[in-house]
Amino acid sequence: MVFSSSVFVFLFLPLFLAVYYLLPSKARSAWILAGSWVFYAWWRVDFLALIAGVSVWTYLFGLRIAAASARPGARRSLAIGVAGNLSVLGYFKYYNFGIDSLNALLGGIGASGITALEIILPVGISFYVFQATSYLVDLYREDAPKARTFLDLAAYISLFPQLVAGPIIRYKDIAGQLRRREHSFGRFSEGAGRFMVGFCKKVLVADMVASVADAAFTLSAPTAADAWLGTVAYAVQIYFDFSGYSDMAIGLGLMMGFRFMENFRSPYLSASITDFWGRWHISLSTWLRDYLYIPLGGNRRGRGRTLVNLMTVMLLGGLWHGAAWTFVLWGTWHGILLVAERLPRLWPRLQRLWSSQAAAGRMAALSRIVRVLQTMLFVLAGWVLFRSPDLSSAASMYAGMIGLRGWALSDDLRWQLSPMALLVLCLALVGTYAVPLLRERLPALRAGGLRSFLSNRAAVVPLFLLALLKMSADSFSPFLYFQF
């Protein structure tokens, strides 16, 4: 079940919320767990046992960590608990990748490959395993309270608004809300408005421009115009798709009384790759920082170790997104850029070159624009790897981007382009860069709660109704991050 489906909007969500608000407060966490398990089982009932098993495993080892009187005992329980969770993720997500890579290696030396079963990737496993792991680590660090009951922990791991694509939430941030949370018309209306905005981003923007990206990335010999148009379209698609899901998740949480962390903050306005990762998929980047980068030593052990840690984190972050060499190289690409920004004789000189020309006023603004464009070029280059099904397809797109097959739009792509999709793409680009700037300058646009909902309802509701009509007419369109 996905948020942008008729069964969710017209059946599951109204029924869930009606029962939720009719129940007494003490019974609502149980209803959250039941509803979340139904939501997950709608995809495949058998994999419900997996998320239930992860919840039981995490709860039991959390008890052992909390009860251990000696740190070695707690450390041992932590190691076993985390290893168990990560082994589940490793098996389901990387088994096929490992077998395929091994068979490719064996084929290269003339040996016969290994015949193995194809493992189905459970939806959202990367997200709920990370949440379960963070609970054990925070409990060991004494940075989170022990779950009062199995019900609390299972509801946290399975919470359906963010179950399959984030934001990745920490138990320490939600433990108090599981016990007591605010239910008010103002918060509910804020959540409904946020859900509608995310729904429109997904259905009216991401799904519309997807046709442009898909057409370009399936060309065997794209020209420069083909490759750049397709890459820009994919950048818009993945941003509006994923941030739209995050908006809907945050909105649903507000409608249930929860407040989740923000997951995006105008990432395409970033002036550096470091800045980009502070704005894009914030819940993942902070998770990697707190549970991987800092434990590896962070920046406390000298510049050389810091650079190694950055590369390691980004490589593993790329692999987290998908079991393919394209994702490994995408993570490596971002790791190289982060390292370059910290090299004392390379990146700072480039930055000083621009800043020296920007004393104040217009030149300062021009300097930032140039740095934003520079960062976007790097991000777009990375999206080619992220979107391409394999390395040869990515190489073909790169060849097109540098003009090896000509510069004009090809006939193979031109006939597939919808004028409406191109119009939406242009409007999305304008909105991506103009709306955040307006928010900075117009405080009224940043207002939340009832006032914000009422003031924007006239614009949001008609668009939401239009999105509902489009959803009903179109075929099934899952969120991009469901595959991760």
Catalytic residues: 321
Query: Taking the alpha carbons of 274, 280, 286, 288 in that order, is the dihedral positive or negative?
Result: negative
Q: Cα Rg for the chain, rounded, in angstroms?
A: 23
Query: Taking the alpha carbons of 280, 284, 288, 289 in that order, is the dihedral positive or negative?
Result: positive
Scanning the structure block, which residue is given the tokens 């909902």? 453
Question: Which tokens go with 192?
Answer: 């409904």
Please name which of 281, 261, 193, 235 lies closest in space to residue 433, comparing C-alpha atoms.
Answer: 235
**Cβ neighbourhood burial of 277 (10 Å; 0-12, 13-18, 19+):** buried
- Residues 6+ away with beta carbon under 8 Å from 472: 6
CB 247 within 8 A of CB 440: no
- Please give the Cα distance from 340 to 351 (Å, whole number): 12
Concatenated DSSP letters of 245-307: HHHHHHHHHHHTT--PPP--S-GGG-SSHHHHHTTSSHHHHHHHIIIIITTTTTTSS-HHHHH
Beta bridge partners of 406: 404
Concatenated DSSP letters of 119-148: PPPPTTHHHHHHHHHHHHHHHHTT-SPPPS
Beta bridge partners of 404: 406
Residue 276, Cβ neighbours under 10 Å: how many? 22
- Please give the Cα distance from 197 to 244 (Å, whole number): 7
Question: Which tokens go with 317?
Answer: 């972050």
Cα 371 from chain centroid?
Answer: 24
Half-sphere exposure for 470 (CA within 13 Å, toward CB): 18
In the chain, the amino acid numbered 178 is: L
- Please give the Cα distance from 228 to 216 (Å, whole number): 9
CB 317 within 8 A of CB 331: yes
Q: How far apart are the first and last CA of the chain?
A: 16
CB 378 within 8 A of CB 273: yes
